Structure 1
Amino acid sequence: MTTTTLPAPAALPTRTLLTCGILAGPGFVGTGVLQGLTRAGFDFTRHPASVLANGDLGWLQVTNFLVTGLLTIAAAAGIRRVLPGRWGPGLLAVYGAGLLCAGVFRADPQDGFPLGTPAGPPAAVSWHGTLHFACGGIGFAALVGACFAIGAHLSPARAWYSRISGLLFLVGFAGVASGSTSPVVTLGFWAAVAIAWTWLATTSAHLMPRGDLR
């Protein structure tokens, strides 16, 4: 009997690894938005993507976290090959690991989702909900650091783009971490997530020509 194993990032061509960085964001955001539009009780103005891991179709969002985490770690390996600094790719890999943990430790149901859940925040946060938030906090901080560290090795214009993307994401996460349930804060976090993934996709695409040399 033969077994099939996934190739390790070190065995993959650099361009393939960078392509993972291009695909990670559209896949994550697209899957989340499609679920949000089709799953009963979900409201973009009240719910972050994490709560989609609950309910009968919660496995879709769990898979989304796990696949995106692996793609992000692969992208970090590709960026490490083409840029001189190690801090940036290392922090990006930490973010990828945070996504994996977010898939393993499910966020708690909240504010009417899934259907039948009481309105408002959870009455008590579960152990897996606590770990989900902790992993998210560590991963998000690492992503902000990655924006700055990777940007330091790019052209001045792209360095500023990286820093601004990191700052906007930090502001978006700080809003939801404050516990605010304002629609502006929730939608702002959705926008911040899209900004961060756009940064990874465009940075990976920008570095793609260097992949031919590695």
Structure 2
Amino acid sequence: MLCAFGASFLLVGVFPADPGAGFPAGAPEDRVTSLSAHGTVHMLSGTVGYLALCVAFLVLARHFAALRQRGWTFFARLTPVGVLAGFAASATTVVAFTAGAGLSLLGLSAVTARLTHPARQ
């Protein structure tokens, strides 16, 4: 799942999003009514990548649950909910998308730090 997420980041970097809804800065505030080919690849790649990341968090939640680490289990289960809620709300504001994307990357960083530096017992 994490490899799919990483590959999606490569694709969205190569295929830029169509400007619109005030993104990037200086773009018209109007919503994009149709996507270009590169915009379509960007959107599909990002969608697949972030869904893969959400699934990875749920797999990690099972790992933490097996270790009886309730706090990390809760965190790994809650993060995909926040990410998907941010993306769902992005239809109304770009800030919601940014919050969802940021939450996912912060969550991934936290879990990575936790797994690479386990607590001493």
Q: TM-score, normalised by structure 1?
A: 0.48
The CA deviation string for residues 171-193 of structure 1, in whole angstroms up to 9 with x for no partner, is 111222xxx2x34xx32222222
Where structure 2 has 5 or more consecutive residues not aligned to the other structure, the ranges are none
**Which secondary structure does the structure 2 equivalent of 1:110 belong to?**
coil
User: Could you say if the C-alpha distance between residues 156 and 107 of structure 1 is closer, same or farther in structure 2, counting changes exceeding 3 Å?
Assistant: same
**Which secondary structure does the structure 2 equivalent of 1:152 belong to?**
helix
Query: Is 1:205 the equivalent of 2:113?
Result: yes
What is the alpha-carbon distance in structure 2 between the residues aligned to residue 147 and residue 107 of structure 1? 26
The Cα shift of 1:142 comes to 0.5
- Cα RMSD (Å): 1.9
The Cα shift of 1:119 comes to 3.7
Aligned length: 113
Query: Is 1:150 the equivalent of 2:64?
Result: no
Query: Over alpha carbons, which structure has the higher Rg?
Result: 1
User: What percentage of residue pairs aligned between the two structures are identical?
Assistant: 29
Q: What does residue 12 of structure 1 align with?
A: none
* Partner amino acid, structure 2, of 1:121: R
Structure of higher RCO (CA pairs closer than 8 Å, 6+ residues apart): 1
Where structure 1 has 5 or more consecutive residues not aligned to the other structure, the ranges are 1-90
Q: What does residue 103 of structure 1 align with?
A: 13
The Cα shift of 1:166 comes to 1.1
User: Could you say if the C-alpha distance between residues 119 and 160 of structure 1 is closer, same or farther in structure 2, counting changes exceeding 3 Å?
Assistant: closer
Q: TM-score, normalised by structure 2?
A: 0.81
What is the alpha-carbon distance in structure 1 between the residues aligned to residue 32 and residue 106 of structure 2? 31
